[in-house]
Structure 1
Amino acid sequence: MYKKLLLTFLAFSLAAGVFSQNLKPVDAESKVLFVIKNMGLSVDGSLTGLAGTINFNPKNASGSSFDVTVDVNTINTDNKRRDDHLKKDDFFDAAKYPTISIKSTKIQPKGNNTFFAQAILTMHGVSKNIQFDFIATPASGGYRFKAEFAVNRLDYKIGGNSMTMGDEVAVKLDVLAKK
């Protein structure tokens, strides 16, 4: 009896390692940062309100996925007037599109805690396929995910043509996710 129970427990424990962990982003311990050129200067900012789900198993990357959002109304460039303008309809239109979302469509391992992701990024009501590498390192009770990629704001109909503002936005993610 005890042998069967022990074998069942061991089999379940080993099988649990094959399945993805269901994780939630920890907003207070994560960073969603961006940088864009404006009048020749780099303007950086951040977004908070990170929410969603991350199912991750480094041994089964193809079975892993993420679907997370960030709150557009939290945009912060250390300039309240600019932040208020960015929330208006000629930029993010936060009243109509209150979140930015990113949802994976494919994850592949690359080695050394590095993975390749294909995902759909949705901003301002426009969804586009993107791809990027990310690093996943174990953290207490979960994982820390780090990634960098660039997007063209015009692809998402944000801000329109501008002689003073750059089109490319560099995005940097540092997300802690726990059970």
Structure 2
Amino acid sequence: MRTAALQILPGLLLDSVLLLALFIATPVKAQYQPLDKGSSVQFRIKNLGFNVTGSLTGLVGKISFDPAQPGDAVFDVSVDANSINTDNDMRDDHLRKESYFNVKQYPRISLISGKISLYKRGAYLFAGRLTIKNHSQDVSFPFTATEIDGGYQFKGTFTINRKDFDVGGFSTISDNLDVTLDVIAK
């Protein structure tokens, strides 16, 4: 019996060494957490000819990013819809209601990547889905990724049509709004 155990031991040892070598040779994707503090999610929309700006906070999610392999990147982030802030409490309360963001039923606004690709030197192209009030639409926009201590700073801007997400119905506000992202991830 002891001879059989000694014969098995070299095989187990070899298997263990091969498994360790495979683990070491397999690249590990860098995982980052978006930081709410220091990041900004802002929007701009026209209302009766005037620009209204606002922001959202409560940024959470996961980001996997390597500039050498953008095709392997994954962005899965969201913000708190209830955090909407246009520096006007009455307007913000109105935007939280059912006809706009309906924050009681849909508390998060999410952005999930489908594909990240090199756009041009120093910039990448995000293609994914934006979900507001359980309505998802494809979005695509260029962004930059700047390496910072322990992570990255991602910046990008895109335009959406609020009606695609059933936000605002018939209103005096413009259909289109610009969203600007400046996300710190570590």
The answer for the alignment partner of 2:44 in structure 1 is 35
Is 1:21 paired with 2:30?
yes
The answer for the alignment partner of 1:49 in structure 2 is 58
Find the partner of 2:103 among 91, 94, 98. 94
How far apart, in 1, do the equivalents of 2:30 and 2:89 lie?
A: 39
The answer for the alignment partner of 2:170 in structure 1 is 161
Find the partner of 1:132 among 137, 141, 144. 141
Partner-residue secondary structure (3-state), 2:68: helix
Give yes or no for contact 1:35–1:170 (8 Å, CA) kept in 2. yes
The answer for the alignment partner of 1:63 in structure 2 is 72
Q: Give the TM-score taking structure 2 as reference length.
A: 0.85
Deviation at 1:117? 1.1
Give yes or no for contact 1:45–1:78 (8 Å, CA) kept in 2. yes
Q: Which structure has the larger Rg over C-alpha atoms?
A: 2
Partner-residue secondary structure (3-state), 2:33: strand
Structure 2 counterpart of 1:66, one-letter code: F
Deviation at 1:124? 1.1
How far apart, in 2, do the equivalents of 1:23 and 1:74 lie?
A: 23
The answer for the alignment partner of 1:3 in structure 2 is none
Structure 1 counterpart of 2:88, one-letter code: N
The answer for the alignment partner of 2:181 in structure 1 is 173
Find the partner of 2:87 among 57, 78, 91. 78
How far apart, in 1, do the equivalents of 2:54 and 2:130 lie?
A: 18
Deviation at 1:112? 2.4
How far apart, in 2, do the equivalents of 1:119 and 1:19 lie?
A: 23
Partner-residue secondary structure (3-state), 1:74: strand
Deviation at 1:78? 0.1
Deviation at 1:169? 0.8
Unaligned 5+ segments in structure 1 are 1-7
Find the partner of 1:104 among 113, 133, 152. 113
Number of matched residues? 166
The answer for the alignment partner of 2:131 in structure 1 is 122
Structure 2 counterpart of 1:64, one-letter code: A
Structure 2 counterpart of 1:171, one-letter code: V
Partner-residue secondary structure (3-state), 2:37: helix
Partner-residue secondary structure (3-state), 1:28: strand
The answer for the alignment partner of 2:9 in structure 1 is none
1:125-156 per-position Cα deviation (integer Å, ceiling 9, x unaligned): 10111111110010110000000000000010
Partner-residue secondary structure (3-state), 2:136: strand
Unaligned 5+ segments in structure 2 are 1-19
Range with bigger deviation, 104-113 or 70-79? 104-113
